Amino acid sequence: TAERPEPPEPPDVDGTQFISIQAFPALLDFPQEREVSKVGCGSRHTAAVTREYGELYTWGWGKYGQLGHEDTGSWDQPRRVEALAAQGLRAEDVVCGPWTTYVCV
């Protein structure tokens, strides 16, 4: 019997980069070894608040702007939400919904 070739990957139809979505916990290295105090998980994104500085980091699928980076980009690694830091706001808690992120500052 001949082996079947693997089907080709479908083309990226909406122009966004591929972000791996893992259905299991994964160890992450946070920038500058920040300690995380709160975590929220949405359908395809995650948010975390750091203990010492109250910084908000988000990563995952961001098509609807739920990552808070003022764009619709997606990220595999935690990225600080600069809009909060620029206003001098300290995140206290975070909760994620299916396509949303709620932050208590």
What tens-digit pLDDT sequence spans the chain (105 residues)? 455 444 444 444 455 555 555 556 777 888 788 899 999 999 899 999 999 999 999 999 999 999 999 999 999 889 999 999 999 999 999 999 989 999 999
Instruction: Give residue 104's pLDDT.
Output: 97
Q: Which amino acid is it at 72?
A: T
Q: What are the residue boundaries of the structural domains of the chain, listed by start?
A: 36-104
Sheet with 45-50, edge to edge strand ranges: 36-41, 45-50, 56-60, 75-80
Answer yes or no: are the C-beta atoms of 67 and 53 closer than 8 Å: no
What pLDDT digit, counting tens, does each position of 80-96 carry?
Answer: 999 999 999 999 999 99
Instruction: Give residue 57's pLDDT.
Output: 96
DSSP states along 36-56: EEEEEE-SSEEEEEETTT--E
Residue (of 34, 18, 33, 9) closest to 76 by Cα position: 18
